[in-house]
Chains A and B, each alone.
Chain A
Amino acid sequence: MNGAARPPAGLLVWLAGGAALALVLALTLGAVALVALRAEGAGALTTPDLRALRFTAWQAFLSAALSVLLAIPLARALARRRFPGRGLLVSLLGAPFLLPVIVAILGVIAIWGRSGWVNDGLGAIGAPRIDVYGLPGVLLAHVFFNLPLATRLILQGYAEIPAERWRLAAQLGIEGRALFRLLEAPMLRAVAPGAFALVFLICATSFAVALALGGGPRATTLELAIYQAMRFDFDLGRAALLAALQFALCLGLALLAAGLSAPAALGPGFGAAPERWDGRGGLARAADAALIALGALFLLSPLLAALLHGIPGLGAMGAGVWPAAGRSLIVALAAAALSLALAGALAGLIVALEARWAPAGRLTEALGLLTLAVSPFVAGVALFLALRPLISPVSAALPLIALVNALMALPYALRLLLPPLREAARDYGPLAASLGMGAGARLRLVWLPRLRRPLGFAGGVAAALAMGDLGVVALFSAPGAPTLPLYVYGLVSAHRLEAAGGAALLLAGLSFSLFAAFDAWGRARDPA
């Protein structure tokens, strides 16, 4: 960067980034430390804990590997094809990931379960039935959740390959494997490790899904052990120890991924919509069409089942559902705004650090993913302990829920914003500096327009996640003012499963609409 323009932009980057990092560390490592301090005596690990650690790591690794490996061909096909409904399909890729856990479980079971559509079909043709409960079920559900997320991340990578490179490749007749090696592999090298780490972390902290589809205690994850220690045994020492173990696993993986990922260095382009000339052959078209159709079927069938499941309950939701939805909407929007601000600040800090000493940037990047690795139970309890001497946590319930969810969504936003910010800083930082653009002008004129697509997607993810959150909410629920997920849970505990199904569908619908609105804003300047 040009020295003349550094002070105004630079100082802000360090201050904002430092504050964001401090907040992340406080809620992750700080939370575990606080819970450990509060505990009487250190916890001890048992044999089942070690078994849980092994299962957690193994299923998360497989889930992440499968999700990313399957996402590559799907994203590749989607990136080079234009067809009616493509925009909708790309938007719907955000949906599985945002479903309330129970809705997702029921959706997957409706397709793959013992009395699901697949087994009905197999039974009808006399084929042997399949039983998904066990590791296959866990992987199936996790891939259903995360394949779309990984696909979107990789699709964004494709969109960031400048149009000029595709044009040059087309002229030189670079196709198929050569094209993959030349343009796509470097991009994947930059994007895939981050996507893998993100999915790994999501799956490493999975609990209800892993248990329900895992068929029993063999599918015990660390998160279940933490929940048990926290909720049932009130053994804070053990909870802190297990949470630290979970951190170590996730941080190790995040560091590994950050180390593996190499910036793509595909250079700047004019930001024109990439037009593609490769893959015009019949075979390539047929293969892409088949891939997209299979992917859509795999992802949309459980969604459809979940939709059908929830519809009957829509009429029975009760009057309280609308104020609850309103509260959730406010929390979601606040969390999204906060999450983007935090991610932007942290990404700026990482880029600035990388310019000075690369390992510091890598470490910060890995730390930025950590909020995903913190158990919501531990974070919630720590926050409760920290805030109770100052304010009544219950009276500040909604702002706290927004804050915690903003931090929980931070890894997604960071993952999405960092690669393009890195490239924008490298390609346009000197120009901006030479023009003497201050921090505000850079943000408004360079970063925001260049990062519009990832900002939209990340904002949508953050909003939708905050909308559907139950984990953190529980400790801070204000009496008589439930958020929508809490309202759903209330219906469930009142045995009103049908109404709960309806309200869960409403929740999923609202989450998805919120996501789609953000996403549509982000993609408004994209080609059709």
Chain B
Amino acid sequence: MIRLEGAEARRGAFWLRADFALARGAHLSLIGPSGGGKSTLLNLIAGFVSLSAGRLLLDGREMGRAAPAERPVTMLFQEHNLFPHLDAAANVGLGIDPGLRLSPSDRARVAAALAEVGLEGLGARMPADLSGGQRQRVALARALLRDRPILLLDEPFAALGPAMRAEMLGLVAALREGRGMTVVMSTHDPDEARRAGGLASFVAEGEVSAPAPVSAVLDAPPPALAAYLGAQEIARSAAIRPAT
């Protein structure tokens, strides 16, 4: 589980404050405008942004100062989740051993993980030869092997088409349920949050609202969220995808 107690982080002039807890196996969608603090919150939990005040507990242990790799966390970024000079299987294999010393049984696990995300037989492909969706699947396959209880997703599917997004969300949901993972995913698409289910928080101007069921948040939005959603509706009606 994730618990933030009076947690604060600064990045230049930007200031994020978060104070909430999330139970094991939950799914939390972070909704809000670009620059509102979604990524900073995820980076704070993953360890790429350091805590300037408060506490961060992951699985009940204080983790505010821990190095990224020490945390029970896997984070998927929107892009750059793979090393471009390593093939898909090697990128997945890094989830087992960062030195890539893999035994035959490790290789079998890599192949199985690739198959689990629907990439059977594509282990020899280089990232450049994979589609955007396939690249994210490779990253997910690695997350499977790393087997960390917390999965953070930073607008991971924003670059994908609608059908692919739905498919990827289904994959994430299956992983969460099958392995009891806690998932935090940022998005600026309310539909994506709705489809993912679970809880949602509105993140804007460095403030994180308390997690609440996603339907409750979206059906009766607080004024700031309502304003944001309105903008989304207008954008969608004009058939323009918001810039990522």
- Interface set of A (CB-CB < 8 Å, partner B): 162, 164-165, 167-175, 177-179, 181-183, 186, 264-267, 269, 275, 277, 280
Contacts and interface: CB of A to CB of B under 8 A. Distances in A.
A168 B81 contact: yes
Interface in B64-100: 67-70, 73-75, 77, 79-86, 94-95, 97-100
Interface residues of B, number: 28
B77 A264 contact: no
Contacts of B85: 186, 264-267
A178 B74 contact: no
Contacts of A269: 80
B223 to A, nearest CB: 34
Given A165-B83, A174-B94, A182 B68 contact: no
Contacts of A171: 46-47, 68-69, 73-75
Contacts of A169: 98
A183 B146 CA distance: 20
B14 interface: no
A164 B95 contact: no
Contact of A178 (B73, B81, B98): B98
A186 B86 CA distance: 11
A174 B75 contact: no
Give me the 7 closest cross-chain CB pairs, A-B, nearest first: A173-B69, A267-B84, A178-B99, A164-B80, A174-B98, A170-B68, A265-B85
Interface of B: 46-48, 67-70, 73-75, 77, 79-86, 94-95, 97-100, 127, 142, 146
Contacts of B80: 162, 164-165, 167-168, 267, 269
Contacts, number: 79
B81 A172 contact: no
A93 B48 CA distance: 31
Nearest to A427: B84
Contacts of A264: 85
Contact of B146 (A172, A182, A277): A172
Contact of A170 (B67, B74, B127): B67
Nearest to A171: B68
A177 B146 CA distance: 20
B74 to A, nearest CB: 7
Contacts of B82: 168
Contacts of B86: 182
Most chain B Cβ neighbours within 10 Å, of A168, A174, A186: A168
Q: Is the interface of B mostly helix, strand, loop or mixed?
A: loop
A178 B99 CA distance: 4
Nearest to A281: B67
Nearest to A183: B83
Nearest to B96: A172
Given A171-B73, A181-B99, 14 more contacts: A168-B80, A171-B69, A171-B74, A171-B75, A173-B70, A183-B83, A186-B85, A265-B84, A265-B85, A267-B80, A267-B84, A277-B48, A277-B68, A280-B67
Nearest to B126: A265
Contact of A167 (B48, B67, B95, B98): B48
B168 to A, nearest CB: 19
B56 to A, nearest CB: 16
Contacts of B83: 165, 168, 182-183, 266-267
Contacts of A162: 80
A173 B98 contact: yes
Most chain B Cβ neighbours within 10 Å, of A172, A182, A183, A186: A172
Nearest to A173: B69
A397 B3 CA distance: 73
Contacts of B47: 170-171, 277
B94 A172 contact: yes
B130 to A, nearest CB: 13
Contact of B95 (A172, A175, A183): A172
A264 B98 CA distance: 19
A174 B127 CA distance: 19
A229 to B, nearest CB: 49
Contacts of B68: 167, 170-171, 173, 277
A267 B82 CA distance: 10
Contacts of B46: 171
